């Protein structure tokens, strides 16, 4: 049995136990958690359509061809990853941009490590801009019913700081690779300006203006992918593989189980209520590595958190420490191997050991400074 299916089975079992042990609290946890998983499903479908249209690969090609050096390419990749993560979710970013950035590095004849590992770390770091950028945002803010515009008004500065501090740390550690001068060796990929771009624009609109855009974005994704399947340009098996259905089901079940525990057991909620901003971020980062950031979000926000934005900073940036931190790691590894790369979990974690404390400290400082 694969890891994905094992996690799916564990999640279903944990969810069943939660409902048997405490039905009312399990239903409350489910009500808090279902919307984020529906939203990310819709965004992954939109990302799949955009990827099939060649939007991501074309962006990587043009980035490689217009970059005068490895450093310029890296800066452009940082902006690209941040934008895709903000609008289409970090899971979409790592699933579709990882091969694009690996290809962009190879097309210039340079080293691929900064862009390969940067895609993972920057996707996690760039997930603080909009509610849909990370499932944890939606789980934690389920108590606040905040629109995308309201969210970004609080988090634009911490999000920018987290993104560029993470990029700076990785850039310094990989400065020798980035200093190499190279030039593109392949012709650019033509872009099909069609369904994928429309789906991205419509989804981004819903995420920005609606407090609960999950069903609308899912509808956009489903309609888009059904059109592609009807035209013979995709098939159900490939769509299910990209979505990682067992992983999503498993994480949802575990999130519901821990959300039920958080409502039944008062200790997590009462402990978080007495922590300041700095301690909240630190505890959240550690919890994300121990439990995975989605179940940790459900556990620590079972009751309305005292410092929700500090909690999100820890939950979103903490996963850069280790593979257990977020679903994005598993999607990144799969995408990297499909592109012919050989990702190293140990190397990614070594980058994270430096990037996580610095990015969390900087993001919390920005949050406190803005009040």
Instruction: Report pLDDT digits (tens) over 134-169.
Output: 989 988 887 677 778 889 988 999 999 999 999 999
Mean pLDDT (the chain, rounded): 87
Token duo for residue 189: 């990929």
Contacts of 251 (CB under 8 A, 6+ apart): 7, 11, 37, 292, 294, 295, 327
What pLDDT does residue 157 have? 96
Render the burial of 135-146: b for 16+ CB within 10 Å, e for the rest.
Answer: bbbbbbbbeeeb
What pLDDT does residue 106 have? 79
Render the burial of 24-41: b for 16+ CB within 10 Å, e for the rest.
Answer: ebbebbbebbbbbbbbbb
Asked if the structure places residue 193 within a domain, the reply is: yes
Asked if the structure places residue 169 within a domain, the reply is: yes
What would the mean pLDDT of 258-277 be, rounded to a whole number?
A: 84
Tally of domains in the chain: 1
Token duo for residue 158: 């911490």
pLDDT grade, residue 192 (50/70/90)? Answer: low
**Does position 358 have pLDDT exceeding 90, yes or no?**
yes
Q: What are the residue ranges of helices labelled H in the chain?
A: 3-21, 23-52, 55-66, 70-88, 90-107, 113-125, 135-140, 148-173, 175-179, 195-209, 214-230, 236-243, 245-264, 267-273, 277-291, 293-300, 308-317, 327-338, 345-369
Asked if the structure places residue 315 within a domain, the reply is: no
**Does position 282 have pLDDT exceeding 60, yes or no?**
yes
Token duo for residue 278: 């700095």
Asked if the structure places residue 306 within a domain, the reply is: no
pLDDT in tens, 88-135: 888 888 888 898 898 888 777 667 899 999 999 999 999 999 888 998
CA 368 to CA 279: how far, in whole Å?
A: 13
**Does position 233 have pLDDT exceeding 60, yes or no?**
yes
pLDDT in tens, 32-46: 888 878 887 888 888
- pLDDT-above-70 percentage for the chain: 95
What would the mean pLDDT of 14-24 be, rounded to a whole number?
A: 92
In terms of average pLDDT, the best of 58-72, 266-280, 299-313 is 299-313
Higher pLDDT, 233 or 114: 114
Contact 107, 58 (CB under 8 A): no
pTM for the model:
0.83
DSSP state of 190: P
**Does position 190 have pLDDT exceeding 70, yes or no?**
no
What would the mean pLDDT of 21-41 be, rounded to a whole number?
A: 87
Asked if the structure places residue 186 within a domain, the reply is: yes
What pLDDT does residue 215 have? 92
Contact 44, 335 (CB under 8 A): no
Please state, as a whole number, how many other Cβ atoms lie within 10 Å of the Cβ of residue 71: 17
Please state, as a whole number, how many other Cβ atoms lie within 10 Å of the Cβ of residue 214: 23
How many alpha carbons lie under 13 Å from residue 146 in its C-beta half-sphere? 22
What pLDDT does residue 59 have? 77
Token duo for residue 365: 């400082």
Asked if the structure places residue 336 within a domain, the reply is: yes
What pLDDT does residue 183 have? 61
What pLDDT does residue 312 have? 96
Please state, as a whole number, how many other Cβ atoms lie within 10 Å of the Cβ of residue 75: 17
CA 188 to CA 59: how far, in whole Å?
A: 9
What would the mean pLDDT of 47-76 be, rounded to a whole number?
A: 81
Contact 276, 284 (CB under 8 A): no
Asked if the structure places residue 11 within a domain, the reply is: yes
In Å, how far from its chain's centre is CA 25? 27
Contact 126, 81 (CB under 8 A): yes
What pLDDT does residue 185 have? 55
Asked if the structure places residue 206 within a domain, the reply is: yes
Domain range enclosing 97 = 3-265+326-341
């Amino acid at each position: 049995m694969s890891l994905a299916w094992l996690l799916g089975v564990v999640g279903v079992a944990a969810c069943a136990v939660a409902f048997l042990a405490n039905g009312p609290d399990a239903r409350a946890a489910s009500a808090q958690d279902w919307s984020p998983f529906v939203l990310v499903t819709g965004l992954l479908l939109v990302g799949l359509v955009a990827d099939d249209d060649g939007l991501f690969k074309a962006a990587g090609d043009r980035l490689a061809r217009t970059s005068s050096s490895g450093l310029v390419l890296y800066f452009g990749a940082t902006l690209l990853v941040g934008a895709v993560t903000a609008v289409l979710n970090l899971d979409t970013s790592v699933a579709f941009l990882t091969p694009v950035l690996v290809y962009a590095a190879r097309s210039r004849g340079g080293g691929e490590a900064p862009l390969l590992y940067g895609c993972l770390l920057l996707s996690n770091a760039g997930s603080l801009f909009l509610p849909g950028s990370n499932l944890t945002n939606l789980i934690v803010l389920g108590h606040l019913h905040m629109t995308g515009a309201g969210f970004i008004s609080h988090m634009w500065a911490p999000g920018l700081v987290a993104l560029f501090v993470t990029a700076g740390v990785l850039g310094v550690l990989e400065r020798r690779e980035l200093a190499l001068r190279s030039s593109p060796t392949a012709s650019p990929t033509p872009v099909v300006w069609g369904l994928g771009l429309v789906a991205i624009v419509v989804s981004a609109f819903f995420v920005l203006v609606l407090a609960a855009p999950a069903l609308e974005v899912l509808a956009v994704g489903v309609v888009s992918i059904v059109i592609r399947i009807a035209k013979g340009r995709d098939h159900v098996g490939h769509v299910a593989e990209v979505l990682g259905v067992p992983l999503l089901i498993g994480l949802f079940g575990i999130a519901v189980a821990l959300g039920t525990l958080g409502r039944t057991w008062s200790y997590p909620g009462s402990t978080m209520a007495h922590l300041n901003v700095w301690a909240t971020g630190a505890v959240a980062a550690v919890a994300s590595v121990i439990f995975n950031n989605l179940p940790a979000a459900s556990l620590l926000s079972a009751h309305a958190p005292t410092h929700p934005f500090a909690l999100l900073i820890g939950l979103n940036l903490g996963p850069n420490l280790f593979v257990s931190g977020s679903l994005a790691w598993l999607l990144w590894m799969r995408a990297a191997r499909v592109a012919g790369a050989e990702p190293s979990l140990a190397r990614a974690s070594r980058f994270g050991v430096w990037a996580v404390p610095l990015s969390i400290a900087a993001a919390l400082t920005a949050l406190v400074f803005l009040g």
